[in-house]
Copies of this chain bind each other. A is one copy, B any other.
Amino acid sequence: MRERCRAHGVQLRPHMKTMKSVEAARIALGATSGPITVATLKEAEYFADHGFDDIFYAVCITPDKLARAARLARRANRFSLLVDNVDAAEAVAVSAARESVQHNVWIEIDCGEHRTGLPPGDLAVIRIARLLSENPHTTFAGVATHGGQAYGAESTSEITRIAELERSAAVDAAMRIRNAGIACPNVSAGSTPTAVHGQSWDGVTELRAGVYMTGDLFQAGIGSCAMDALAFTVLATVIARNTERGQVVVDAGGLALSKDRSTAGHAFDAGYGRVLDINGNAAFGALKIDDVHQEHGEMHAVSPAVLDKLAPGTRVRILPNHACMTAAMYDRLHVTIDGSGAIAEVWDRVNGW
C-alpha cells in the first residue's frame, strides 16, 4: 500500500481500526511513526502514548468527546478531528478556546456512501471551512471522504468507478473551498478496495486504508487481495466430532470469530469463517464454520475424508470474514513469521472506546 501510494504521489495515512497495534502501524508506515487514522479516541490516546503525533480521528466528533479531544490536542503535535455540520464546527471552536488548544479540523464529504458527510456542493462546506479558517483556535486541515459503498460493489470495475467518485467528490469540495478564497491544504480519501482499484488520485493528498494490512475473506472476495495473502487467522481446537451427522465442533464460536456475516449472499460466502489446517493450508476444501454459539463453532455436512482429519483435539486455523470485527475480540495478536507456526512476537492491541 505504501508503494501504491508512492506511485500515485499521495501520502498513506493508514487506518489503524483493524490492527489497533503500534507494531502494525510502524510496519505500515515503513518503520516510522508517520500519519495515521484512528476510529476511536482510545486508539488516539494509545498511539499518542507511543509517540505518534499526527493522528486523525476520522469519525465525526460529538460535543461529549471534546474535553478528551482537547487533552489529545495538547499531547499530539497534529491531532485532527472531523466534522460535517456547522454546529459541530462551532462547538469544536468554542471548546478549543475554552481549553486553550488548537484543533486541526477536517470536513467530511459524502461521495455516495450516505453515512455521514456533506455533498461536495453543499454550501455548508464553505461555511464550515471559513469558520475553521478564521477562528483563531481552529486550523482547517482539509476535506476527507470515504467510499464505503465500494464494500457493496459487484466487481472490481465497479470499485474503480467508486474510487473515481471518491476522488472527484473530495477534489470538487476542495476546489469549491479554494474558489471561495480559503486555503484547503489536504484532500483525504480512501478505503482498502478503492485504494487498491483506484486508477487516479489526482488532486488527492492522502489515502486512508486499513484492512489491507491483514485482508480477510470479504476483502479477498471483492478482489482487494488474494486468498493466499490473508494474514489473520483464529487458532481453534476441535471439541467434538459426530460422524453420523457429519459434524465437527470447535472451541471458536460467535465471540472468537465475531458474528460478522459480510460474505453472506456472495458467491464467496464462507459462513462464519473458512477452516484451514494448523499450517494455514486449505487442506479441507471449502470447509467453513456454518453456525456459531457463544463458544462453539459448528461445521456441517463434513465429508468422511475430512472428518477423518478432524479428531477431537486437532488444531485448526480459521480465516475470518471481517478482520476488523474478529480482531476486536482479542487484546493481543500472536505473530508468526516463518511458516512454522512458532510465535515470533506478541503485539498488544487497544480495544474499546
Contact = CB atoms under 8 A, between A and B. Distances in A.
Chain A, interface residues (CB within 8 Å), range: 35 or more
Interface string A285-312: 0000000011110100000000000001
A312 B87 contact: yes
A85 B240 contact: yes
Contacts of A115: 249, 293, 296, 298
A148 interface: yes
Nearest to A63: B313
A331 B328 CA distance: 12
A321 to B, nearest CB: 10
A59 B295 contact: yes
Interface in A126-172: 148
B240 A60 contact: yes
Interface string A21-57: 0000000000000000001100000000000000000
- Max chain B CB contacts within 10 Å: which of A65, A85, A293? A293
A247 B256 CA distance: 32
A260 B325 CA distance: 12
A116 B329 contact: no
A325 B259 contact: yes
A239 B256 CA distance: 30
A242 B114 CA distance: 9
A237 interface: yes
A255 B59 CA distance: 14
A17 interface: yes
A258 interface: yes
A282 B63 CA distance: 24
Interface string A328-353: 11110000000000000000000111
A238 B64 CA distance: 10
A260 B351 CA distance: 19
A255 B60 CA distance: 17
Interface string A79-108: 000001101100100000000000000000
A62 interface: yes
A324 interface: yes
B328 A239 contact: no
A254 interface: yes
Given A39-B295, A298-B115, A328-B329, A85 B255 contact: no
Contact of A260 (B62, B259, B298): B259
Interface of A: 17, 39-40, 59-60, 62-65, 84-85, 87-88, 91, 114-116, 148, 237-240, 242, 245, 247, 249, 251, 254-256, 258-261, 293-296, 298, 312-313, 315, 324-325, 328-331, 351-353
Listed from nearest, the 6 A-B pairs whose CB atoms lie closest are A116-B240, A259-B259, A62-B237, A63-B313, A60-B239, A39-B295
